[in-house]
Structure 1
Amino acid sequence: MTHLSVEMMAADAVEPITSAGNAQLGISVLVGIAVIVLLITRFKLHAFLSLTIGSLVLGAAAGAPLDKAITSFTNGLGSTVAGVGVLIALGAILGKLLADSGGADQIVDTILAKSSRRMMPWAMVLIAAIVGLPLFFEVGIVLLIPVVLLVAKRGNFSLMRIGIPALAGLSVMHGLIPPHPGPLVAIDAIKANLGVTLGLGVIVAIPTAILAGPVFSRFASRWVDIAPPEKMIPQRPSEDLEKRPSFAATLSTVLLPVVLMLAKALVDIVVDDPEQHIQRVFDVIGSPLVALLVAVLVGMFTLGKAAGFSAGRLSTTVEKSLAPIAGILLIVGAGGGFKQTLVDVGVGDMILDMSKDWGLPALLLAWLIAVAIRLATGSATVATVSAAGLVAPLAADMSTTHAALMVLAVGAGSLFFSHVNDAGFWLVKEYFGMNVGQTVKTWSLMETVISVVSIICVLLLSLVL
């Protein structure tokens, strides 16, 4: 929860902006995180302001010039918003179209009719895994939020009982399964076979998603028993619901960006020649921005027009969809700023240096290095890229299957315990209307379950393959 191409850029970090030693860097990380948590929980300061102050405190504690710390924070904020801001906005528009047209109602009513109450969390993890296969994590959250909130509201479920399985399905895909950026980069760095990695990734992902989703949600819903936040729940439209779009049209519209992105991934694998015209075409239409934009434009007809919306009503729907996400964008951006400050002061390099002397089995070492970088930087993809580069020499003499397991070990470590330096942490917190403590008890622990179960599965597979 995090992320994406923004983090790929962060992985190529330039020279640190401070010459602090490892001890000072370690203390500065703890101080920065403590300040953020204290400002939010004790003084009730807005998360955006808390993250901004915490980033500057981190830079100062690490001995970085204040102007460079400010630049790191603003660069991180800007690149994060540039990377996910438009995607969140497009996803919010599509979600509003789904809600106002009655399309979200149609999906929810169909799910509730076809699934028993006991099976609902299992249905949600399956839907999230399918939808999340080619999607960036943030896009998947935005697309699924209306469905998750409505199912919880109509079915009178604890939000965590429905939300955790959906988040687990998305997160497992993000960390373990190509064509997500992290696994693809790790495959390239470790020289693993993509097909074998994909196959073994699915084997690891299934039990992981089950335990972190439907099973863990039983406990999470007891620890944090909250209802869906009213301001985020799509309201049932006041128009005649007989006009609402069909289930097939609604589902096709929601899955359209999924299909376009998946098609791009398949073409990239099959063609594997950037000069080929067909690959260049799919690189465009399968990019997240274009795929979501196409889905929004199509949704105006399959959802809006099907519900009898006029051009004016469509314009109003789009306008109203953007206001609620302003705060979310700022908080997610500030989380990216804090992450970039961590990277620029040299915390990632510190972790890599310290890990060189650890005498552990290669797969476990790969996982621990990724865990350490994830905890320090908050970035799943930075953790994956950095750890994969470090352990790549260890995979030189490995078999095809064990090289693939090395990729999965790195991916598993990159998901460990998302907290306040992860933009995904703030995204989940705001969408689900939780405070920091509740987010840690649910989202952060769910990510830890995914990471631990994944590495256990990887180590078990390494014994039999």
Structure 2
Amino acid sequence: MPEFEQTLGAGALISIAVGAVALLLLLIIQFRIHAFVALIVVSVLTAIVAGIPAGNILTTLTSSFGSTLGGVALLVGLGAMLGRMLEVSGGAQALADDLVRRFGEKRAPMALGIASLIFGFPIFFDAGLVVMLPVVFTVARRLGGSLLLYGIPVATAFSVMHVFVPPHPGPVAAAELLGADAGLLILVGLMVAIPTWVVAGHLFGAWIGKRILLPVPDILATDKSAGEDANPPAPGLVVALLLLPLFLIFINTGLDFARAQGWVDSNATWFQLARTIGATPIALLISVLVAGYVLGPRRGRDAVKVERILDSALGPVCSIILITGAGGMFGGVLRASGIGNALSDALSDIGLPVFVAGFLIATALRVAQGSATVALITAAGLVQPAVQAAGYEGFQLSAVVLALAAGSVMLSHVNDSGFWLVGRFFNMDVKTTFKTWTVMQTLVGLVGFALSGLIFWLA
């Protein structure tokens, strides 16, 4: 594939990006074209207009589509299987009843959010959300009201942990680039993540849930033909099954810390095997196998019924997986066209303080290409010389990393795979997803930036 060097100016590239987003919204909202088809069409047109060579277009589309699916398909598919087993067995209902009994109906959204904050420490956003959805849907069905009352606090919890707190890849990579201490970043990240969740998750979820009545979708609905257990599993067993993938994933965190301290040989076979077991797809695979046995044959359900239950989990999420992959394709085209680089270069020349400039650069990159992780890592690389020249360290350096992280989550829209993942799982149209998910993500960015700025100036 020949090398591509962008010759268009920043103004032209930004105009192309704005036009592409406008066209995509027009196709989906006005002409009612399926989001999967619309995303592919706009991706192709954007690649052509941006000047990507014809011989590179198909490779650019398929590589970005495939890389997104590689990160999402296994997580969503296996997570949906685990969720369906919990749903059909009555486990999700049992845990929902226990949460409501312990915290009360009025505090159920807070209980779900706090549980998701804990689960979100080691697990990525996509996997955590999919695993928690059956519990969220069950609580929403039991207590009534809009799904947003329960879903927004949970989605926000996983989001803030993913963007602000190691061991998630964005803050870890940014900390390494800027030389921030990972242990201190965890502490400061929690100081930012938890209050941000209170505002953007708990308070906004309660506010928007009263204004938009969103019914609980049937995406993960119980397969009645499979037969529900008259004696559902205990809530403690359900929690253990939910914690199993988190425990396995957390192994990687401990191994990474041990490697960084020089305690273990990272080339050792046992180390590489343990790292594989702790990888999110493998951890979810193990959890599905354990749940299939514990909630299947061990409780008197034969293997044929278990297989039917697991198979029924995949059909409803196929559309979600494909649309999410297409969203990643659109973001990949924007990255390949150089639009993100043009925005960041224009902002870096303005002469703002590095703390503010980093936030704005990360925001521009997020808007341009969709991925929060890519925006955070790229912005960290761009401001690295200025940060080193300023001599920041300790709390101030951690605050700079978190300011970049706050920018990387701003203004999520149609080029972000998370936009489509949450929108489709919650069965929201594009307008409603903008009113809920996009606003929530922007609140996370603004509150996170304000709190990191407070820490920066007080340090």
Query: How far apart in 2 are the matches of 1:17 and 1:75?
Result: 18
Match of 2:429 in 1: 435
Runs of 4+ in 1 over 3 A off after TM superposition: 14-18, 231-242, 276-279
- Give the 3-state SS of the residue equivalent to 1:461 in structure 2: helix
User: Following TM superposition, by how much is the alpha carbon of 1:16 offset from its aligned partner in structure 2, in angstroms?
Assistant: 4.5
Q: Does structure 2 retain, via aligned residues, the 8 Å contact 1:208–1:454?
A: yes
Query: How many residues of Structure 1 are paired with residues of Structure 2 in the alignment?
Result: 452
- Identify which of 125, 129, 132 aligns with 1:144: 132
- Identify which of 288, 300, 303 aligns with 2:295: 303
In the alignment, residue 204 of structure 2 is paired with which amino acid? F
Residue by residue over 1:352-399, the C-alpha shift from the partner in whole angstroms, topping out at 9 and shown as x without a partner, is 211221222221111111000000000101101100001112222112
- Identify which of 83, 88, 101 aligns with 2:89: 101
What runs of 5+ residues in structure 1 fail to find an aligned partner?
Answer: 1-13
Query: How far apart in 1 are the matches of 2:154 and 2:10?
Result: 38
Percent of aligned pairs with the same amino acid? 35
Query: How far apart in 1 are the matches of 2:381 and 2:397?
Result: 13
- Give the 3-state SS of the residue equivalent to 1:270 in structure 2: helix
- Give the 3-state SS of the residue equivalent to 1:87 in structure 2: helix
Question: What is the correspondence of 1:182-261 to structure 2 with a 5 Å cutoff?
Answer: 182-234=170-222, 239=227, 241-261=229-249
User: Following TM superposition, by how much is the alpha carbon of 1:294 offset from its aligned partner in structure 2, in angstroms?
Assistant: 0.7
Match of 2:317 in 1: 325
Query: How far apart in 2 are the matches of 1:41 and 1:111?
Result: 38
Query: How far apart in 1 are the matches of 2:318 and 2:23?
Result: 24
- Identify which of 326, 338, 350 aligns with 2:330: 338
Compared with structure 1, are the counterparts of its residues 372 and 192 closer, same or farther at alpha carbon in structure 2 (3 Å cutoff)?
same
Q: Does structure 2 retain, via aligned residues, the 8 Å contact 1:168–1:212?
A: yes
Match of 2:259 in 1: 271
Query: How far apart in 1 are the matches of 2:406 and 2:309?
Result: 40
Q: Does structure 2 retain, via aligned residues, the 8 Å contact 1:102–1:307?
A: no
User: Following TM superposition, by how much is the alpha carbon of 1:279 offset from its aligned partner in structure 2, in angstroms?
Assistant: 3.2
Q: Does structure 1 retain, via aligned residues, the 8 Å contact 2:83–2:220?
A: no
Residue by residue over 1:104-143, the C-alpha shift from the partner in whole angstroms, topping out at 9 and shown as x without a partner, is 1111111121122221121121111111111111111110
Compared with structure 1, are the counterparts of its residues 407 and 236 closer, same or farther at alpha carbon in structure 2 (3 Å cutoff)?
farther
- Give the 3-state SS of the residue equivalent to 2:12 in structure 1: helix
User: Following TM superposition, by how much is the alpha carbon of 1:157 offset from its aligned partner in structure 2, in angstroms?
Assistant: 2.6
User: Following TM superposition, by how much is the alpha carbon of 1:306 offset from its aligned partner in structure 2, in angstroms?
Assistant: 4.1
Structure with more relative contact order (C-alpha pairs < 8 Å, separation 6 or more): 1
In the alignment, residue 329 of structure 1 is paired with which amino acid? I
Query: How far apart in 1 are the matches of 2:186 and 2:228?
Result: 46
Compared with structure 1, are the counterparts of its residues 243 and 118 closer, same or farther at alpha carbon in structure 2 (3 Å cutoff)?
closer
What runs of 5+ residues in structure 2 fail to find an aligned partner?
Answer: none
Compared with structure 1, are the counterparts of its residues 118 and 243 closer, same or farther at alpha carbon in structure 2 (3 Å cutoff)?
closer
Match of 1:3 in 2: none
CA RMSD of aligned residues (A): 1.7
In the alignment, residue 203 of structure 1 is paired with which amino acid? M
Match of 2:396 in 1: 402
- Identify which of 404, 428, 452 aligns with 2:446: 452
Query: How far apart in 1 are the matches of 2:92 and 2:372?
Result: 31
Query: How far apart in 2 are the matches of 1:409 and 1:171?
Result: 15
Match of 2:143 in 1: 155
In the alignment, residue 438 of structure 1 is paired with which amino acid? T
Q: Does structure 2 retain, via aligned residues, the 8 Å contact 1:244–1:307?
A: no
- Give the 3-state SS of the residue equivalent to 1:243 in structure 2: coil
Match of 1:356 in 2: 348
Match of 2:52 in 1: 64
Question: What is the correspondence of 1:405-420 to structure 2 with a 5 Å cutoff?
Answer: 405-420=399-414
Match of 1:314 in 2: 306
Query: How far apart in 2 are the matches of 1:312 and 1:190?
Result: 53
Q: Does structure 1 retain, via aligned residues, the 8 Å contact 2:4–2:53?
A: no
- Give the 3-state SS of the residue equivalent to 2:8 in structure 1: coil
Does 2:411 align with 1:423? Answer: no
In the alignment, residue 418 of structure 2 is paired with which amino acid? G
TM-score, structure 2 normalization = 0.95
Query: How far apart in 2 are the matches of 1:374 and 1:232?
Result: 30
Compared with structure 1, are the counterparts of its residues 282 and 41 closer, same or farther at alpha carbon in structure 2 (3 Å cutoff)?
same
Compared with structure 1, are the counterparts of its residues 402 and 132 closer, same or farther at alpha carbon in structure 2 (3 Å cutoff)?
same
Residue by residue over 1:135-169, the C-alpha shift from the partner in whole angstroms, topping out at 9 and shown as x without a partner, is 11111111011111111111113111100000110
Which stretch shifts more, 230-239 or 241-250?
Answer: 230-239
User: Following TM superposition, by how much is the alpha carbon of 1:182 offset from its aligned partner in structure 2, in angstroms?
Assistant: 0.4
- Give the 3-state SS of the residue equivalent to 1:74 in structure 2: helix
Q: Does structure 1 retain, via aligned residues, the 8 Å contact 2:380–2:401?
A: yes
Query: How far apart in 1 are the matches of 2:340 and 2:3?
Result: 11
Residue by residue over 1:319-352, the C-alpha shift from the partner in whole angstroms, topping out at 9 and shown as x without a partner, is 1111111111110110011010000011121122
Compared with structure 1, are the counterparts of its residues 119 and 15 closer, same or farther at alpha carbon in structure 2 (3 Å cutoff)?
farther
Q: Does structure 2 retain, via aligned residues, the 8 Å contact 1:51–1:335?
A: yes
In the alignment, residue 252 of structure 2 is paired with which amino acid? K
Match of 2:122 in 1: 134
Match of 1:462 in 2: 456
Compared with structure 1, are the counterparts of its residues 50 and 32 closer, same or farther at alpha carbon in structure 2 (3 Å cutoff)?
same
Compared with structure 1, are the counterparts of its residues 169 and 55 closer, same or farther at alpha carbon in structure 2 (3 Å cutoff)?
same
- Identify which of 60, 64, 81 aligns with 1:76: 64
Residue by residue over 1:171-210, the C-alpha shift from the partner in whole angstroms, topping out at 9 and shown as x without a partner, is 0011000000001100100010001111100111111010
Compared with structure 1, are the counterparts of its residues 144 and 240 closer, same or farther at alpha carbon in structure 2 (3 Å cutoff)?
closer
User: Following TM superposition, by how much is the alpha carbon of 1:18 offset from its aligned partner in structure 2, in angstroms?
Assistant: 3.8
Compared with structure 1, are the counterparts of its residues 15 and 342 closer, same or farther at alpha carbon in structure 2 (3 Å cutoff)?
farther
Match of 1:10 in 2: none
Query: How far apart in 1 are the matches of 2:163 and 2:408?
Result: 7
